[in-house]
Amino acid sequence: MKTVVPTGNSRSLIHRLRALAVLLGLALAATTLPAGTASAATVAQSDRGQLVSARQVSTLATKQDVAAALAAVGFDTGTVRFGVDAYQLVYRTVDPEGRPTTASGLLVLPRSREHELRTVSFAHGTASYRYDAPSSMTKVGFVSAPAITYASAGFAAVAPDYLGLGAGPGPHPWMDVPSETTASLDMLRATLAFVPRTGRALGHGVLVTGFSQGASAAMALARTLQAGGDRWFRLEAVAPISGAYDFQHAELPALLDGSLDPKSSVLYTAYLLVAWNRLHHLYDSPGEVFQAPYDSTIAALFDGSHTGQQLLTGTPNTLSALLTSHGLDILRHPTGPLAAALRVTDSTCDWSPRVPVRLYYARADEQAANANTDHCEAALQSRGVNTPVVNLGSPDYEGSRHLGSNVAGTAAIVRWFSQLH
């Protein structure tokens, strides 16, 4: 989620609009394929993760350059040790039906003398505009700063764009559990293929993290790695930030009852219905769930070519102005394909990690209801896993605690990962 709660003054409103225009983020993912889809594992396994192209997108030659770039976007600079080189990788993967496609991602390497590097996989919050993806950034910004942070601390930092963002074709299948997982895993494989070209190598271990949408994507990737989803990579630790791990029972009710930022609720609910109708056929006509005039415009807004600012101006400020009574009803009482998809989305904490795990959150998050973290902790505890939950307090980033949790969480996690061996 990438919105900001309004505070009643014009400066906060400007900050909220700026943040919304850059990114929307929400945490969703898992590792099981919905019934009826082709198994990704059966589709040209040898082709998945195959590198299609690689290009260097930026260099911050010294640690001073990195520190200046991170400070400019409000990220902590205390762990910066090296300059970095950043690359966009395009690689082969599979779509939600298990058919071959391509995706892209950002790889950032430290300018250190270490030959074998430890890997951090960072999953970003949801983007609506394809060029807001990590690998499309021409300079350090909110979405790429975590990867820069981890690489400058000495890690090989991998940040998948997901499907349909960056250089990947088609619309982004937002909140689609299988493709978030396969795109993340295959980005690791593409990185393994590319890194030797730089004279470096990757070790087996992967430290997994992610923010907002990427929090659940991180949990899903971690579960897949622990289950032996790849012959090279092994899970070492997982540390998600501000996820919506229980979308049906924690996040969706908070979006609908006004507990969260109203404009965020409009945008995420619209994105959910549009993206999941493409995947799961929730309605025959937009007019069934969206009120006029939005029923004729809303789907196009989420085609990947519209900016966050266009989404802001093209949507109402309240759910009551966006949704029909039927649209509200199906979200309040999910059945059929919607209920089935939610079960997949909400399964990311339903496993037993055998590695260190920490859950990070901000108090009174205005976009990811805190109940999500509570539910994830409870799910892990029910499987015998006592997970430390780290309260980041009330970090502020342009008026948003949610965005602030990404900044504060990244600073905390890079230090924790650096202590693990």
In this predicted model, what pLDDT tens digit does every residue of 215-247 receive, in sequence order?
999 999 999 999 999 999 999 999 999 999 999
pLDDT one-digit tens code per residue, 400-421? 999 999 999 999 999 999 999 7
pLDDT of 294 reads 98
Q: Band the pLDDT of 333: cuts 50, 70, 90.
A: very high
Determine how β-strand 156-160 pairs with β-strand 100-110. antiparallel
Query: 46 or 135: whose pLDDT is higher?
Result: 135
Tokens 């090296």 map to which residue?
Answer: 82
Give me the chain's average pLDDT, please. 90
pLDDT of 27 reads 32
* Domain 1-421 CATH superfamily: Alpha/Beta hydrolase fold, catalytic domain (3.40.50.1820)
pLDDT of 46 reads 73
Query: 14 or 241: whose pLDDT is higher?
Result: 241
Residue 9 has pLDDT above 80, yes or no: no
Q: Rounded CA gap, 421 and 205, in Å?
A: 10
Q: How far is CA 186 from CA 57, 119, 163, in A?
A: 20, 14, 11
pLDDT of 287 reads 98
Residue 43 has pLDDT above 70, yes or no: no
Q: Rounded CA gap, 340 and 363, in Å?
A: 30
pLDDT of 408 reads 98
Q: Band the pLDDT of 44: cuts 50, 70, 90.
A: low
Domain ranges of the chain: 1-421
Residue 19 has pLDDT above 80, yes or no: no
Residue 3 has pLDDT above 50, yes or no: no
Is residue 94 within 8 A of residue 101, CB to CB? The reply is: yes
pLDDT of 102 reads 98
Phi-psi region of 338 (alpha: psi -120 to 50; beta: other; left: phi over 0): alpha
Q: Rounded CA gap, 50 and 330, in Å?
A: 40
Is residue 305 within 8 A of residue 360, CB to CB? The reply is: no
Q: Rounded CA gap, 410 and 122, in Å?
A: 10
Residue 14 has pLDDT above 90, yes or no: no
Give this prediction's pTM: 0.90
Q: Give me the phi and psi of 209, to 5 degrees please.
A: -150, 170
Q: Rounded CA gap, 97 and 413, in Å?
A: 34
Is residue 386 within 8 A of residue 182, CB to CB? The reply is: no
Residue 190 has pLDDT above 60, yes or no: yes
Q: What is the mean pLDDT of residues 67-71?
A: 98
Residue 22 has pLDDT above 80, yes or no: no
Q: What is the mean pLDDT of residues 111-137?
A: 95
Tokens encoding 251? 């996040």
pLDDT of 153 reads 98
Q: Rounded CA gap, 215 and 174, in Å?
A: 14
